[in-house]
Amino acid sequence: MNYKYLAKYGQSLAFGGGALLIVIFFLIVLIAGQDAALNFIIWAGIVLLVLTIVALVGYALYHVIRDPKDSAKGLLGLGAMLLLFFILYLVSPAETTGKIGALREEFSISDNLMKAISSGILTTFILAILGVGAFVYSEVRNLFK
């Protein structure tokens, strides 16, 4: 499928797929009951998530292979995010006291997993702050143009 095909028929295909899922859902409710319908919703969500991840990775690899020079900035950005996560992982403490320590013991969270969780949260905060800062900077810059 190319871009022109998706631009022309993509919205109709997405609507048709959604309508098909709704029809299947109601048929399952009528035939097997509400418990089976809940199982269908969970499995449909998992399948759609996996398909989305496969499409995302496939699309990214396709463009990296097709045009590596244009993909360099994106790959550098991804590398910078991974480097930030790795640095934060190395400096994150494995909390053992307070409420977090109690929750850690209750759910049997290892030191490495605790550090990964902490560094993931910190990475998210830093990237969010950088995103808001870039937005404000671009708006202020456009204001004076």
Q: Please, what are the averages of pLDDT over each run of 10 residues along the chain (145 residues)? A: 79 90 86 80 89 92 87 89 95 80 85 90 96 96 88
Among 54, 65, 63, 122, smallest CA distance to 90 is for 122
Same domain, 144 and 74: yes
Number of domains in the chain: 2
Same domain, 43 and 57: yes
Q: Which of these three, 66, 88, 108, is where a domain ends? A: 66
| pTM as predicted | 0.62
Same domain, 52 and 90: no
Tokens of 80: 């910078």
Which three-class secondary structure state does DSSP give residue 108? coil
Residue-number span of the structural domain to which 26 is assigned: 1-66
Residues 22-32, buried b or exposed e (16+ Cβ, 10 A)? eeeeeebeeee
pLDDT at residue 51, rounded to an integer:
93
Q: Which of these three, 47, 66, 85, is where a domain ends? A: 66
Same domain, 74 and 140: yes
Same domain, 106 and 129: yes
